[in-house]
Structure 1
Amino acid sequence: MDLVENTFFVPDYLHDLLVASEKGLKGICAELASLLSFPVIITDPLFNQLATEQVVNKVEINYIDNQYREITGDKPAVVNCQLTSDGVPTKGICSAIILDGRLRGYLFVQIDEVSDETIARIHSIIAYASSLCSLELRKKLELKQERQQFKEAFIYDLLYGNMKQKDEIISYGNIWGWDFTQSHTIIVFSLVDFDYYSEDQKRIDSMFFLIERVLIESNLKPIAMKKRGEIVVIYQIPGEEMDKNEYVIKEFIQRVMTQAEIMDMNTRIATGIGRESTNPEELYKSYQEAKVAYEVGLLLNIHTPFFNGLGLERILYKHDLQDVKEYYDHTLGKLEKYDQVHGGELMHTLEFYAANQYDLTKTAEALFLHRNTLRYRFKKVEEILDKKLDDMNVRLNITAAFKIRQLRKI
């Protein structure tokens, strides 16, 4: 490599890189590869390639010495990494691309069989190229933010029902290539226990980035907005078959969760899905439904809660609080007070009975109790409540009352 053998770090090289940066990331990538005579790859934080030069075979990133999980400055060290080129392991060096203290991507150089001395001598130019990438990403980010503000104002009006004319919504959507003549539904992704004054702000940014990317990979124009601790997605429905639509939506959400797992965030992300709407002026209803589905899903531990699949839960959740408290007290209040006074387990037993569709055998197996013991307890329950447990209306009331307690309405 003639470049390394001569005086390497001279202003001409830096000047050439600076000039090349006017052509964006591709320009930086091409000039750096030319200077070093090594393949160069620029990726996003999830290792998706943004620009490459002199890369012959498919290259995958296997390992980085320092994963840059703690970004403490704008000039991270150049570290070693291991790449795979067409299935063959190769060496590399890597510099994180940092913007405003946040990881925005990586710059990789595939070096393979090169001495440590040579690697040390090219660190500075790689770090400089990384800083130019950061400046280029800043330009892109500022332009995107400017456009995003107009987008977000439009999406906000949609979500809160401020736009009443269908033709107007369709016309605005066309500006960004969004087709509001098609059916859409609202999907809410929320960061559980969001803390505005913590690293959660950065996590929301990362979530927004990966959700947009998964949408693009699904051949969909991203319609999404950050809103404090949540990200709202207006998701275009692919067809008219509801069962198929639910499968596609679940698959999309699973892909988001898989990507979030790489960033150690999947356990904190919860979601909710509203009903689909053929009228864009009514999407605000789907948004409210998605938020209800998200909240009920958290309470009942439902992994992917669709509002139209909640049934009784959504009715009880949205109902007047005082009314459902009175309903619960009228249905199970006497039994709850009896257990409190006598230290009994009648409520617990009845709840298992309801959860097992009032099947005596299944309940006995679930509680490890003899059927005769259960019969005795249920006879006592009937005496306290003055109701017969084989009455379908009584069973319905009991089921609803336990749902109210699950939803923490009392």
Structure 2
Amino acid sequence: MNVEESLQLQNELLNKLVHGGGLKELVDSTSHFVRREVMIASTSHRVLESSLTDEEFGQGKFFEVLPLNPPSPGRVQIQAGETRMDALAIELSHASKRLGFLYLCDPGPDEDNRLKVLIHQARNIFVLELQKEAELLDNSRNYQDAFLFDLLYGNIEDNNDIIARAKLWGWDLSLPHVVTVFELEDYESYSQDHYLVTTLHDSIQSVVQPLDNAVILMEKNEEVILALPIESGKRRDFKAYLNMIINQVLAQTEERLAPRVIRVGVGRRYEQPSELFRSYQEAKVAVKLSVLLKGKGPTVYFRELGVERILYSHDKQELLEFYREMLAELESQDKQKNELTETLENYLTYHCDLKATANALFLHPNSLRYRLKRIEEILDMDLEDFDTRVSLVIAFKIKYLVDFKEKL
């Protein structure tokens, strides 16, 4: 390769930019010049533009990046569906900010330095274009985010004003909406976790993009917030619709983000856009409580929460006082073995079914009866009384809820 060839490629790409060409024109020109397929991808391995005709690597599609065996500097394998190929991978970054990757497909043998040098010369042109697109997107998002912040925190009360402003971004907030919050568990601010949240955002976007109605999608620290228009209809129908979307997202993120866990909280549907902030707050409560509620899975609907949603927002000191009134004496006398407290909790968990509780604790029913009698004596309560049972259930919920909130 000579200097003239390198300059020719740079001039050709710069000429495309000067005449208003975008990423697609740059990709096609580079591919034609080097006689190889070229692809530009986001940091989450989502295709932005590609000269490949294979639909598996079409715009918006995700793919996997696999190391070569044996390893080779800068070289990887990329796979989407059944299609797999070798590629030269070049990071596109500016001022330590990663913008994406350039992939030169089937680059040939390692000793062919001509293509390596050419594609590295083209790198800066692609960085310029991606940087420009990122700045335009950031500017647009700044206006969007300011509006969404006011909307999701209840700072706008005029429904007509909300509907009019939302139309600027193609959102129809005259329709009922429901907010779903996807959260990356154990998120750390000062780490690479923001790239994982971007991958989560891109996964959600790829699932909801084919939908007819425009959706609101916003990335915020460890959260990705999705507000979906939901036509009036049976609750069961819209829950099935939401579950379909959520399950598709979780299936994608399980592949791309494992072993990290994504938790999902769903708020209630609201008719008026000025009330959408309630759905957001409910979704946040649901996603936090999903960690606490065993057996509910990664997705929790606020509407389906029981007494937890009331307790969660209640005064902590009052909760502790109620808990101590109900269970402190039992725990005090049960410090060493903790068997009576465990027995009572299991008895309530199994709906006061003697046989089921005995089986769960590997106890003879008579031994269980003895323990329950002892518990009644310590607490000075009748476990056959319905109100007593309800109060004890709430006390145990408070126990775990207070411990949980202290860890947040």
TM-score normalised to the size of structure 2?
A: 0.86
Question: For residue 70 of structure 1, what is the aligned residue in structure 2?
Answer: none
Residue 158, structure 1, aligned to residue 151, structure 2: yes
The number of residues matched between the two structures is 393
Question: For residue 174 of structure 2, what is the aligned residue in structure 1?
Answer: 181
Question: For residue 216 of structure 1, what is the aligned residue in structure 2?
Answer: 209
Deviation, structure 1 residue 289: 1.2
Asked whether the 8 Å contact 2:184–2:222 carries over to 1, the reply is yes
Structure 2 unaligned spans of 5+ = 58-62
Quickly say closer, same or farther: Cα 1:62–1:399, change in 2 above 3 A.
closer
| Aligned counterpart in structure 2 of residue 258 of structure 1, from 251, 257, 266 | 251
Secondary structure, aligned partner of 2:100:
strand
Quickly say closer, same or farther: Cα 1:163–1:88, change in 2 above 3 A.
closer
Residue 11, structure 1, aligned to residue 7, structure 2: yes
Secondary structure, aligned partner of 1:27:
helix
Deviation, structure 1 residue 230: 2.6
Residue 315, structure 1, aligned to residue 317, structure 2: no
Asked whether the 8 Å contact 2:56–2:83 carries over to 1, the reply is no
For residue 35 of structure 1, what is the amino acid of its counterpart? Answer: F
Question: For residue 390 of structure 2, what is the aligned residue in structure 1?
Answer: 396
Deviation, structure 1 residue 92: 3.7
Structure 1 unaligned spans of 5+ = 68-76
Secondary structure, aligned partner of 2:402:
coil
Asked whether the 8 Å contact 1:258–1:266 carries over to 2, the reply is no
Question: For residue 110 of structure 1, what is the aligned residue in structure 2?
Answer: 105
For residue 322 of structure 2, what is the amino acid of its counterpart? Answer: Y
For residue 177 of structure 1, what is the amino acid of its counterpart? Answer: G
Question: For residue 42 of structure 2, what is the aligned residue in structure 1?
Answer: 44
Question: For residue 72 of structure 1, what is the aligned residue in structure 2?
Answer: none
Asked whether the 8 Å contact 1:94–1:109 carries over to 2, the reply is yes
Secondary structure, aligned partner of 1:197:
coil
Matches within 5 A, 1:183-202: 183-202=176-195
Residue 366, structure 1, aligned to residue 360, structure 2: yes
Deviation, structure 1 residue 261: 3.3
Percent of residue pairs identical = 32
Question: For residue 280 of structure 1, what is the aligned residue in structure 2?
Answer: 273
Asked whether the 8 Å contact 2:184–2:260 carries over to 1, the reply is no
| Aligned counterpart in structure 2 of residue 354 of structure 1, from 348, 355, 362 | 348
Bigger mean CA deviation after superposition, 384-393 or 274-283 = 384-393
Question: For residue 60 of structure 2, what is the aligned residue in structure 1?
Answer: none
Residue 134, structure 1, aligned to residue 130, structure 2: no
Deviation, structure 1 residue 377: 0.6
Question: How many Å separate the matches in 2 of 1:28 and 1:339?
Answer: 73
For residue 42 of structure 1, what is the amino acid of its counterpart? Answer: I
Asked whether the 8 Å contact 2:6–2:121 carries over to 1, the reply is no
Question: How many Å separate the matches in 1 of 2:337 and 2:86?
Answer: 68
| Aligned counterpart in structure 1 of residue 91 of structure 2, from 96, 99, 104 | 96
Deviation, structure 1 residue 28: 1.0
Question: For residue 379 of structure 1, what is the aligned residue in structure 2?
Answer: 373
Asked whether the 8 Å contact 1:80–1:94 carries over to 2, the reply is yes
Quickly say closer, same or farther: Cα 1:129–1:213, change in 2 above 3 A.
farther
Q: Deviations over 1:218-267 (max 9, x none)?
A: 44534233333333322222552212222222332333333333443662
Quickly say closer, same or farther: Cα 1:275–1:82, change in 2 above 3 A.
closer
For residue 236 of structure 1, what is the amino acid of its counterpart? Answer: P
Q: Deviations over 1:160-206 (max 9, x none)?
A: 11111111111011111101111111222233333322323443344
Q: Deviations over 1:308-342 (max 9, x none)?
A: 111111112222222222222222222222213x7
Matches within 5 A, 1:61-76: 63-65=65-67
Question: How many Å separate the matches in 2 of 1:288 and 1:107?
Answer: 40
Quickly say closer, same or farther: Cα 1:344–1:78, change in 2 above 3 A.
closer
Secondary structure, aligned partner of 1:195:
coil
Secondary structure, aligned partner of 2:331:
helix
Residue 20, structure 1, aligned to residue 13, structure 2: no
Q: Deviations over 1:13-48 (max 9, x none)?
A: 221122224411111111112212223233334444
For residue 229 of structure 1, what is the amino acid of its counterpart? Answer: E
For residue 171 of structure 1, what is the amino acid of its counterpart? Answer: A
Asked whether the 8 Å contact 1:257–1:266 carries over to 2, the reply is no
Quickly say closer, same or farther: Cα 1:100–1:183, change in 2 above 3 A.
farther
Question: How many Å separate the matches in 2 of 1:401 and 1:59?
Answer: 54
Secondary structure, aligned partner of 2:89:
strand
Quickly say closer, same or farther: Cα 1:275–1:18, change in 2 above 3 A.
same
Asked whether the 8 Å contact 2:172–2:214 carries over to 1, the reply is no
For residue 65 of structure 1, what is the amino acid of its counterpart? Answer: P
Question: For residue 334 of structure 1, what is the aligned residue in structure 2?
Answer: 329
Bigger mean CA deviation after superposition, 24-33 or 121-130 = 121-130
For residue 398 of structure 1, what is the amino acid of its counterpart? Answer: L
Quickly say closer, same or farther: Cα 1:33–1:8, change in 2 above 3 A.
farther
TM-score normalised to the size of structure 1?
A: 0.85
| Aligned counterpart in structure 2 of residue 289 of structure 1, from 282, 307, 312 | 282
Asked whether the 8 Å contact 1:25–1:133 carries over to 2, the reply is yes
Quickly say closer, same or farther: Cα 1:99–1:237, change in 2 above 3 A.
farther
Output the aligned Cα RMSD. 2.9
Question: How many Å separate the matches in 1 of 2:361 and 2:263?
Answer: 31
